[in-house]
Structure 1
Amino acid sequence: MVSMFSIAAWNIRGLNPTPKQNEVTDVVCAVLESHVTMDKLGGICNKVFPRWDWLSNANTCVRGTRILLGWDSDVVNVMVLAMTDQVVHCLIDTIEGNNKFFISFIYANNNYFRRRLLWRDLSMHKGFVGNYPWVMMGDFNASLYLDDSSVSTLKITLAMREFSECVESLRMTDVNQKGLRYTWNQRPNATTGLLKKIDRVMENNEFISKYSDSYAVFQPYRILDHSPAILKIPMAIRNRPRTFKFCNFVIHKPDFQNVVSKGWKKVVEGHNMYKVVKKMRFLKKPLRKLMWCNGDLHERVVKLRDSLNNAQRLLDANPYDMQLRMDENQCLQKYNNALLD
């Protein structure tokens, strides 16, 4: 079994209250919107991150601390490359397996005008990352798609458009996700509220290729209003990732047309070639599932051959038994189909 390690990001909207500190100790790696002042950083971090290394972007913030980062130095080495009041760029190097990748912890500003500085920073960082694995995670303070809100809307806001343009230019996509769909719970009162997805974990193509088994878990918010995002990454990976192979036989399966049609109907924003590539990527998982549902082809041929041999032996011993003749005919059809596959 492949061992996993976790990287988490959680907007807690203030780390000073003790109950929140207790919540954070369960999963934390990056704490967003902590509101901790410089004079209290040492005491709180030593309490929240016992026996861990930690740092913050307090020096770049006008008031308080927006991003706190803690890590277990026995498991991972963290090199900070750059930081602003909205992002901390790091290079992660796992001690076990010697896996390296770039990661950006993000807490975007509430104001869309200020967020433009973040989008510009991420675009510049992409040039630095180059063709290496890169993941970014945190609170982007903006929705990406129309269905990212529990309240239906047909209007794409300026904030959504600018966020989408940034993601497209970075060639980033959401990591495979489990857990909650909506990551932010606005609670104006006890009976009504708005649910939105503004916390994300995103990866570039190089990260997808190297860490194909990674996934993100969005846990319940508990006493807070944001869901903790936890990225699960395999510690031991294949030297060469398994490539996608399309087996021609699946086009003859009854479910093939439905699988392709469903995947191709997904809405993708961007240039035409980018849309085609994205939709083809969407189809990989369901097509793999369709192929796996048919089992191991070689093993199936062997089993059906044995079944056909047995059916013909029984028919040879009882040539006038119509049920045996029907069974032999069915085995023959299944065997021929398996050979064709």
Structure 2
Amino acid sequence: MNPNKILFWNVRGLNSSVRQDSVRELVDSSQVDVVCVQETKMQNISTRTILSMLGAEFSDYVYLPSTGASGGILITWKRHIGHTGQQRIDNHSVSVQLCMEQGQAWWLTCVYGPQGDDGKILFLQELRDVRTACAGPWLVAGDFNLIYKTSDKNNSNFNRAMMGRFRDLINDLGLKEIPLLGRKFTWSNQQDNPVLVKLDRVFCTVDWELTFPRVLLHSAASLDSDHCPLLLGRSDNRPGKRRFHFESFWTKLEGFQEEVHSAWNSVEAVRCPFQTLEKKLKMTARRLQGWSDKQVGHVRLQLALAKELLHRLEMAHDERPLTPAEIWLKNRLKKQSLMLSSFKRTMARLRSRISWLKEGDANTRFFHIHARHRKRKNFVAMLVDGDRILTNHCEKAAAVDQFYTNLIGNVETGKGLLIWMPLDCLDIIWRT
């Protein structure tokens, strides 16, 4: 099966739980199927690390160890993604061969280019060797540490000889860059008068583009990295509206018992006990949600707002120097985003924790089955309409609308079919 979204990100180290939480939050919120991380700064990456950072769905992975505390590449993908078993690890790149639904395979290469000029020349030759060994549709992306256009940098300090070599490679291999929407640069040195460069890119061959004609590349907030994440997506499914969920940690907060008591007793009893129970439950849920917003706040909304503001500040930074107040706000938003990401993951664990599980078992397969049960149960992956199988969101929505239109009619055809009865009459009928 093909991935709907692929994440490319130079995270500047996966050797801390805070940065791992940042990756997890971005993967969950963006529904990423394949994760390509550069500069892991980890010499050894175990299955335990992958499961702890991303969850049980990401069971397959391949990585290039770091050299000391620098470098390192990781590619990991969800278990439903087709994989032929073919892979390749080079000095500055990792390649895996993924398989489509129809059986056709294509190559994915994640790169992390070196800093020095001598190393960059060897890196460009390495990409030629990778392409020779990896025939067929090819997607190559990551932090190249190279530019090939003067517009890729906000100052005039260019290495034109290296730019020419990179441009020759692109032409010789027949690569096409997938345009990045909304951003001019992907890296900043985080200074008051910053150097801004487009170091992170996504290239593809023509046959890959023909295979995946409708893909979009956009960026996300960089959080604690100086590189912004790149999200390559081809899915048009839209997330559904979330329902009310009781949070198990509410019972440990001050004022919970009083709020439940007040909400439950605020509803007067009616003749039908089922209606009374329904009203009491609705009122309690509504009051608890408002109480939680005051006590805890909407963590997901706060995180989304912080990331959006951070993203817009970074976009503004591409065009002009930030004011001291904007720089202060940008740094504050980075810290706030990291804190909210960790808190959000803690809440997710509490929501699905089984009482007899130990803390160390929080990332087992059993835990993740419980954590995703409701989401998997409510999600409609496809609809069968006659001899058609619908997976596109708009097609599924149109099929559902047409089904119920045929079943109950529209406004004109259904007019007068419903006979409304007073509640007293319904109560009498219910009693009899």
TM-score normalized with structure 1 length: 0.60
- Identity of paired residues, percent? 20
Aligned to 2:78: 72
3-state SS of 2:171 partner: helix
Distance 1:121 1:214 in 2: 27
Distance 1:101 1:233 in 2: 16
Aligned to 2:352: none
3-state SS of 1:29 partner: strand
Aligned to 1:101: 106
Aligned to 1:29: 35
Contact between 1:146 and 1:154, CA under 8 Å: does it hold in 2? no
1:55 to 62, 68, 72: 62
Distance 2:4 2:81 in 1: 8
3-state SS of 2:4 partner: strand
Aligned to 1:159: 162
Distance 1:179 1:79 in 2: 36
1:147 to 133, 151, 167: 151
RMSD, aligned α-carbons: 2.5
The residue identity in structure 2 corresponding to 1:135 is: L
Aligned to 1:215: 216
Shift of 1:184: 0.5
CA gap of 1:220–1:144, structure 2 versus 1, over 3 A, is farther
Contact between 2:81 and 2:98, CA under 8 Å: does it hold in 1? no
CA gap of 1:100–1:233, structure 2 versus 1, over 3 A, is farther
Count of residues in Structure 1 that have an aligned counterpart in Structure 2: 226
Distance 1:72 1:209 in 2: 24
Distance 1:43 1:128 in 2: 31
Shift of 1:44: 2.8
Shift of 1:127: 2.7
Aligned to 1:13: 12
Aligned to 2:206: 205
Contact between 1:30 and 1:67, CA under 8 Å: does it hold in 2? yes
Contact between 2:43 and 2:67, CA under 8 Å: does it hold in 1? no
Note the alpha carbon deviations across 1:132-156, whole angstroms, 9 max, x for none. Answer: 21110000001121000122x2855
CA gap of 1:222–1:154, structure 2 versus 1, over 3 A, is closer
3-state SS of 2:225 partner: coil
- Where do 4+ consecutive residues of structure 1 move more than 3 Å? 40-43, 96-99
Shift of 1:43: 4.0
**Unmatched 5+ residue regions in structure 1?**
236-341
CA gap of 1:56–1:129, structure 2 versus 1, over 3 A, is closer
Note the alpha carbon deviations across 1:170-221, whole angstroms, 9 max, x for none. Answer: 1111113323221111113xx2211110100001111122222122122221
Shift of 1:100: 2.7
Distance 1:10 1:170 in 2: 24
Contact between 1:35 and 1:66, CA under 8 Å: does it hold in 2? yes
3-state SS of 2:162 partner: helix
3-state SS of 2:167 partner: helix
Shift of 1:89: 1.5
CA gap of 1:79–1:119, structure 2 versus 1, over 3 A, is farther
1:115 to 107, 113, 120: 120
Distance 2:79 2:90 in 1: 23
Distance 1:179 1:36 in 2: 32
